[in-house]
Amino acid sequence: MLRPQIAIIARVGAQRDFLARGLQPQPAARFDTPFGRSNPIHLFDFQDIPFAVLSRHGESGYEVSAPYVNDRANLYALKALGVEKILAWCAPGAINEAMAPGDLVIPDDILDEGHQQPYTFFPGRGLGFVRQNPVFCPELRQVLIQGLSSGPFPLHAAGVYTATTGPRLETPAEIRKFKLLGGDLVGMTLVPEVFLARELELCYTPVCYVVNYAEGIKDRPYQRGVLFEGLATPQEIRRVQAVEAAFADLVLNLLPALTATPRQCPCPWLMERYRQRGDIGPDWRQWFIGPGEV
């Protein structure tokens, strides 16, 4: 079996984009973990770089909405495969009007306004008190900024991602509040995923592509039966579709540089204080066995 160092966590059926580029994966597998069963994981090889692809919401359609994705099982399975780095591909709405549909954003911070659970691999225990600055891996962020700055899509090198629970979209009043608090984007997928990844000492950073303006940012009348019920215009949807069509090419172009980062960032040492205290040992799989458990 391929031993991928890096994983792509992305949208519905993300593996199909790589299949369309002629890459042939190993048979997909779901893994049983202490936190349940993972989503299917596809293993590919590109220029002798093995990588994993996991679709958060389903293989063929939007089968699992954001608050019900089993992030703990997915991340545990990826780490068990040897993954050290995660590129998260997500599709938020824009609170900041300068971030138009079809633009790319590399967030640098999170405003957590959601109620997703669980937030930790260690409920009821004295583990997981981890600093959240920088939230995202600084090494991977720099690769994304450098690699995408000369690309075909407008790029914003920073932004605050506001995390909500869903599956409902936000109200206009909520968006006004998030804007006052400094939010640039709003979405449902990065939390608790990033916080859980940090507890596993994984390097994690997202690429966001804006899919619509958030509720109330633009005056958009309700339209029944269409995507986002009219929040995005046909022209904006075409811009978004162009980004989606380029997804696999963008990832493959970034893959060599992402893989080459030396992991001199804080990410591999986020649980070091607990190791030094003797709360956890060198085998990360044993971290989740509580006192008195076998």
Of the pLDDT bands very low, low, confident and very high (cuts 50, 70, 90), residue 41 is very high
SS (HEC) of 195-250 = HHHHHCCCEEEEEEECCEECECCECCCCCCCCHHHHCCCHHHHHHHHHHHHHHHHH
Q: What is the mean pLDDT of the segment spanning 135-148?
A: 98
Q: Is the pLDDT of residue 290 over 80?
A: no
pLDDT band at 163 (very low <50, low <70, confident <90, very high): very high
Separation of alpha carbons 5 and 7, rounded Å: 7
According to DSSP, the β-strands at 41-46 and 26-29 are antiparallel
CA distances from 192 to 70, 165, 286 (A): 10, 10, 22
Percent of the chain at pLDDT above 70?
A: 98
Segment 130-158 shows an average pLDDT of 97
Residue 294 has pLDDT above 80, yes or no: no
% of the chain beyond a pLDDT of 90: 89
All structural domains of the chain: 6-269 (3.40.50.1580)
**How many Cα atoms occupy the beta-carbon half-sphere of 232 within 13 Å?**
21
CB 7 within 8 A of CB 54: yes
Average pLDDT, the chain: 95
115: tokens are 């109620």
pLDDT in tens, 3-19: 999 999 998 999 999 99
pLDDT (average), residues 259-278: 97
What would the pLDDT profile of 46-60 be if each residue is shown by its tens digit?
Answer: 999 999 999 999 988
pLDDT higher than threshold 70 for residue 291: no
Residue 184 has pLDDT above 50, yes or no: yes
* Reported pTM: 0.96
Give residue 48's region: left, alpha or beta (phi > 0; psi -120 to 50): left
Determine the average pLDDT of the residues in 231-255. 96
- Structure confidence at residue 133 (pLDDT): 97
Q: Are 201 and 83 in contact (CB under 8 A)?
A: no
Average pLDDT on 154-168 reads 96
User: With 50 as the cut, is the pLDDT of residue 293 above it?
Assistant: no
Q: What is the pLDDT of residues 66-114, one digit of tens each?
A: 999 999 999 999 999 999 999 999 999 999 999 999 999 999 999 999 9
Question: What is the SS3 assignment for 8?
Answer: strand
The lowest-confidence range among 121-135, 194-208, 219-233 is 219-233
- Based on C-alpha coordinates, what's the Rg of the chain? 19
Res 228: pLDDT: 83
282: which 2 tokens?
A: 């060198």
Distance CA 233, CA 194 (A): 31
Contact 70, 196 (CB under 8 A): no
Token pair of 185, please?
A: 């984007």
Identity of the residue numbered 282: P
Q: How far apart are CA 281 and CA 287, in angstroms?
A: 7
